[in-house]
Amino acid sequence: MKHRKSVLKLNRTSSHRKAMFRNMVTSLFKHTSIKTTEAKAKGLRVIADNMVTLAKRGDLHARRQALAVIQEKDVVHRLFDEMSESFASRQGGYTRITKLGPRKGDVAPMVQIELIMD
């Protein structure tokens, strides 16, 4: 049972997991859509929604908190200045996960995670 377990471990060390999700969230906001496995996308969704919430807040402290996670300054700048207006009317649910089917090599369930911008 998975009671009271909030961290999705993905069979990785904590440093590897942190680096992987930082790279993935940077790519998601850079390209607005990425293709990955279902388990990784579910873990990424939490971090991405948190970054959009910071962007909607828009103050300096929120920008510095986002810079601690997202690795490129221009991606953070684009998130806070351009994308935050398109998320202003939404009260959550900033990402969409679409199932694509199994991966050819190891039959892992693949999905596409994308940002929902109005």
The pLDDT value recorded for residue 8 is 87
| 9 vs 26: CA distance, rounded Å | 20
Distances (CA, A) of 90 to 40, 50, 84, 116: 24, 13, 10, 9
Q: Which pLDDT tens digits describe the chain residue by residue (118 residues)?
A: 889 888 889 999 999 999 999 999 999 999 999 999 999 999 999 999 999 999 999 999 999 999 999 999 999 999 999 999 999 999 999 999 999 999 999 999 999 999 998 7
User: What are the structural domains, with CATH classification, of the chain?
Assistant: 14-115 (3.90.1030.10)
Are 52 and 96 spatial neighbours (Cβ–Cβ below 8 Å)?
no
